[in-house]
């Protein structure tokens, strides 16, 4: 197997899912400096300081507008990835990244906190678009035996982005008042690196063959990414998938919602993707510093402790008593959950969409995934403070209940996808989508049954 495939996975991660992880964590460290800048700017403009309520509103808007941008970017991922291809769509995602970095980096020089809001919006557009296209691109470029491994690199990119965001926010790096505009503009660096490196790689072989009907381009891409070995079986799988689709164009969201052939795939996707938010991880990310402070960690050490959060997500914190070592036990439990989340929902979601949807539904499934993720992130960020106020220390019981329910669902419903072709996985889901005599009749009528020949 050629090293080019793994090099491509690295290049995709530079601004793909990495950008999302970076922007989620990078906003925590300069919060007090940005709020101070807003107060000073407001005072210069209007001659009086903004009220506490106005400050809370503006800061909440700066944080949450990233999710709005992410929603816009995710909504456009399906169209752009089909219209221009996976590679060009990902390259286009770097444009709002650079624009957002420029706006935020020049905000203090121009005396405009509105530029920070606009910059966060553009960064969200990049995050929503790049994350979806990155996972789709990586999954379609990998052969069957490496599909899961390559797709999971997107999760690694997210975790790395979060870690880098926390690391850059240290006082020894960029986490000081004089450098917070540079910190916010740091995402320009990976965007420029990807713009310079990604053009040297081919587009997705599946996209070239199935969507563009370019068999020669597909074979050339396969040889560049996988080496000069015998890849006939893999190409035959693509041709079988192309035949099963029957020349149909990429499906829309309405087709995805109403088509019986993907009903259980859609339900599985929605429930598993919801784990990304309803597990409670992203919510706690927004309050990482305050959580460790309340757990008993000295404020001067919270920036360093939070670096551990950058490797995954967090489920809950535990109460501590008067013993000095208990807060650090709380941090240890946080890191244990971080590791378990990375092994489970954090890693599985990335390759799942590629494996359970065939080519005609895949771009729309990624749009559905992105829109669901960003809406839940936005809503949960708004309602979580009220959940805390109502339930106090038991606020994570809601997330615990959902996690247990999802574990049972995955055990009983989700078929194993490892080592199977897309069509074999589709056959597994057809047993759920077309149960009973009426279901079998509908299956035969719609010609959804595909016979897969295994090559020895």
Grade residue 254 by pLDDT with cuts at 50, 70 and 90: confident
pLDDT at 14: 81
Q: Read off φ and ψ for residue 446, nearest 5 degrees.
A: -90, 0
- For all residues of the chain together, what is the average pLDDT? 80
Cβ atoms within 10 Å, residue 214:
16
DSSP letter assigned to residue 262: G
DSSP letter assigned to residue 209: I
Of 357, 349, 363, 348, give the one whose Cα is nearest residue 425.
Answer: 357
Q: What is the pLDDT of residues 290-342, one digit of tens each?
A: 556 655 667 666 666 666 555 443 333 233 364 455 556 656 665 666 566 66
3-state secondary structure of 180: helix
What share of the chain has pLDDT > 90, as a percent?
26
Q: How far is CA 367 from each of CA 70, 252, 323, 386, rounded to the nearest angstrom?
A: 11, 10, 49, 30
pLDDT at 100: 96
Q: Whole-angstrom Cα distance, residue 19 to residue 63? A: 15
User: Is the predicted pLDDT of residue 122 greater than 50, yes or no?
Assistant: yes
Q: Whole-angstrom Cα distance, residue 46 to residue 113? A: 14
Q: Whole-angstrom Cα distance, residue 124 to residue 411? A: 34
Q: What is the pLDDT of residues 431-454, one digit of tens each?
A: 888 876 666 666 565 554 443 333
Which of 49-58, 205-214, 372-381 holds the top average pLDDT? 205-214
Structure tokens at 95: 């444009």
pTM value? 0.75
pLDDT at 132: 87
Q: Whole-angstrom Cα distance, residue 62 to residue 381? A: 13
Structure tokens at 236: 């035959």
Q: What is the pLDDT of residues 273-300, one digit of tens each?
A: 887 777 766 665 555 555 566 556 676 6
Buried b (16+ CB within 10 A) or exposed e, 374-402: bbbbbebbeebeebeeeeeeebbeebeeb
Q: Could you tell me the sign of the dihedral formed by the alpha carbons of 252, 253, 254, 258, in that order?
A: positive
The pLDDT of 88-114, averaged and rounded, is 95
How would you class 192 by CB atoms within 10 Å of its CB: exposed for 0-12, middle for 13-18, buried for 19 or more?
middle
Of 59, 67, 65, 63, give the one whose Cα is nearest residue 32.
Answer: 59
Q: Whole-angstrom Cα distance, residue 147 to residue 417? A: 10
Q: If phi over 0 gives left and psi between -120 and 50 gives alpha, with beta otherwise, what is residue 50?
A: beta
Structure tokens at 284: 């706690």
Q: What is the pLDDT of residues 156-184, one digit of tens each?
A: 888 788 888 888 988 888 988 999 999 99
Of 150, 188, 153, give the one whose Cα is nearest residue 168.
Answer: 188
In the chain, what are the domains? 3-201+248-414 (1.20.1250.20)
Q: Which positions ≥6 away from 401 have C-beta within 8 Å? A: none
The pLDDT of 74-95, averaged and rounded, is 92
Q: Whole-angstrom Cα distance, residue 125 to residue 106? A: 19
User: Is the predicted pLDDT of residue 189 greater than 80, yes or no?
Assistant: yes
pLDDT at 451: 39
pLDDT at 151: 78
pLDDT at 322: 43
User: Is the predicted pLDDT of residue 187 greater than 70, yes or no?
Assistant: yes
Structure tokens at 28: 């925590």
């Amino acid at each position: 197997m050629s090293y080019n495939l793994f090099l491509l996975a690295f290049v995709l991660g530079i601004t793909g899912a990495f950008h999302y992880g970076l922007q989620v964590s990078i906003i925590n460290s300069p919060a007090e400096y940005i709020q101070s800048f807003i107060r000073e700017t407001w005072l210069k403009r209007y001659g009086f300081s903004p009220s506490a309520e106005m400050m809370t509103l503006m800061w909440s808007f700066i944080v949450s507008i990233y999710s709005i941008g992410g929603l816009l970017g995710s909504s456009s991922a399906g169209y752009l990835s089909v219209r221009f291809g996976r590679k060009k769509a990902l390259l286009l995602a770097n444009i709002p990244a650079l624009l957002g970095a420029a706006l935020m980096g020049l905000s203090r020089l121009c005396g405009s906190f509105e530029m920070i809001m606009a910059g966060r919006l553009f960064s969200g557009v990049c995050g929503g678009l790049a994350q979806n296209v990155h996972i789709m691109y990586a999954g379609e470029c990998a052969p069957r035996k490496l599909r899961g491994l390559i797709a999971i690199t997107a999760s690694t990119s997210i975790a790395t982005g979060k870690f880098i965001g926390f690391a850059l926010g240290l006082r020894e790096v960029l986490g000081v008042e004089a450098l917070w505009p540079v910190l916010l503009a740091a995402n320009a660096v990976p965007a420029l690196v990807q713009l310079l490196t990604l053009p040297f790689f081919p587009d997705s072989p599946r996209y070239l063959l199935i969507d563009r009907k370019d068999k020669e381009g597909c074979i050339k891409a396969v040889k560049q990414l996988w080496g000069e070995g015998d890849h006939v079986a893999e190409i035959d799988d693509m041709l079988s998938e192309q035949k099963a689709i029957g020349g149909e164009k990429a499906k829309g969201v309405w087709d995805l919602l109403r088509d019986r052939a993907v009903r259980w795939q859609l339900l599985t996707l929605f429930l598993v993707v919801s784990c990304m938010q309803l597990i409670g991880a992203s919510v706690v990310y927004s309050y990482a510093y305050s959580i460790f402070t309340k757990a008993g960690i000295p404020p001067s050490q919270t920036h360093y402790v939070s670096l551990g959060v950058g490797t995954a997500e967090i489920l809950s914190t535990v109460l501590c008593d008067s013993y000095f070592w208990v807060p650090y036990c709380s941090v240890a439990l946080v890191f244990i959950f971080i590791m378990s989340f990375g092994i489970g929902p954090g890693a599985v979601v990335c390759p799942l969409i590629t494996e359970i949807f065939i080519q005609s539904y895949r771009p729309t499934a990624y749009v559905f995934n992105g829109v669901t993720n960003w809406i839940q992130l936005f809503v949960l960020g708004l309602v979580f403070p009220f959940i805390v106020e109502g339930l106090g220390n038991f606020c994570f019981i809601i997330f615990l209940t959902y996690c247990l329910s999802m574990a049972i669902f995955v055990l009983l419903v989700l078929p194993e996808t490892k080592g199977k072709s897309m069509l074999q996985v589709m056959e597994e889901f057809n047993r759920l989508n077309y149960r009973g005599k009426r279901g079998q009749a509908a299956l035969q009528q719609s010609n959804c049954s595909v016979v897969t020949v295994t090559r020895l």
